[in-house]
């Protein structure tokens, strides 16, 4: 049973009995659609352990606590926007993390639409409107005139690898 499995995982992580009871009540209320061990993960053997942990993090620590008193039809676009604003005000999550939780919510609500529980997905991002704007990542690179100094400063065992990466224009993950 997915609910029992989720309850055990919460207990193993040291989640208080009151919080476990609240989360299980919400899971039952929402027909399992927000359960980390339920529909979003069922039949998905391709998901790695880290992905499942990310799902559990988004659902268990952010979405469930916020939407705990919302039956599925009460999760409207306005409520999704309220969630997004509340997470921004909290200041605990970076914009990319807030967007991850919004993506997870949208995936769950897509399933709710597919199963006929709600007519449309209020978390669907039309034109990115539901997402938090993320700052562009700061990219660093080595200028050609800096390469020799980098190679000289690098440990001997890394010099060949660094020279190949720089010479071929590769990123570290592409070697």
pLDDT in tens, 141-161: 788 888 899 899 999 999 998
Lowest-pLDDT choice from 15-19, 139-143, 161-165:
15-19
Q: pLDDT at position 20, please?
A: 65
Task: Please say if the pLDDT value at position 38 is more than 50.
Answer: no
Average pLDDT over residues 89-100: 93
Task: Please say if the pLDDT value at position 91 is more than 80.
Answer: yes
Report how far apart, in Å, the C-alpha atoms of 26 and of each of 21, 69, 72, 134 are: 9, 7, 11, 31
**Cβ pair 76, 122 in contact under 8 A:** yes
The model's confidence at residue 36, banded by pLDDT at 50, 70 and 90, is very low
Task: Please say if the pLDDT value at position 31 is more than 50.
Answer: no
The model's confidence at residue 37, banded by pLDDT at 50, 70 and 90, is very low
78, containing H or E segment = helix 77-90
Task: Please say if the pLDDT value at position 12 is more than 80.
Answer: no
For the stretch 103-139, pLDDT in tens is: 989 888 887 788 787 899 999 977 767 788 877 777 7
- Average pLDDT of the chain to the nearest whole number: 78
Task: Please say if the pLDDT value at position 8 is more than 80.
Answer: no
Q: pLDDT at position 4, please?
A: 63
Average pLDDT over residues 72-77: 88
Question: b/e per residue, 123-146, with b = 16+ CB within 10 A?
Answer: beeeeeebbbeeeeeeeeeeeeee
């Amino acid at each position: 049973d997915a609910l029992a499995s989720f309850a055990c995982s919460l207990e193993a992580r040291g989640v208080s009995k009151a919080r476990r009871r609240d989360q299980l009540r919400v899971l039952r209320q929402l027909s399992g659609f927000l359960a980390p061990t339920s529909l979003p993960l069922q039949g998905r053997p391709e998901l790695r352990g880290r992905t499942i942990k990310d799902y559990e993090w988004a659902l268990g620590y952010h979405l469930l606590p916020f939407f705990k008193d919302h039956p599925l039809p009460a999760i409207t676009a306005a409520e999704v926007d309220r969630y997004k604003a509340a997470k921004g005000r909290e200041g605990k999550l970076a914009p990319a993390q807030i967007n991850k939780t919004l993506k997870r919510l949208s995936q769950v609500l897509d399933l709710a639409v597919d199963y006929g529980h709600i007519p449309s997905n209020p978390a669907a991002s039309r034109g990115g409107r539901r997402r938090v704007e993320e700052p562009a990542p700061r990219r660093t690179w080595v200028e050609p005139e800096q390469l020799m100094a980098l190679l000289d400063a690098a440990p001997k065992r890394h010099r060949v690898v660094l020279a190949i990466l720089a010479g071929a224009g590769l990123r570290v993950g592409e070697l």
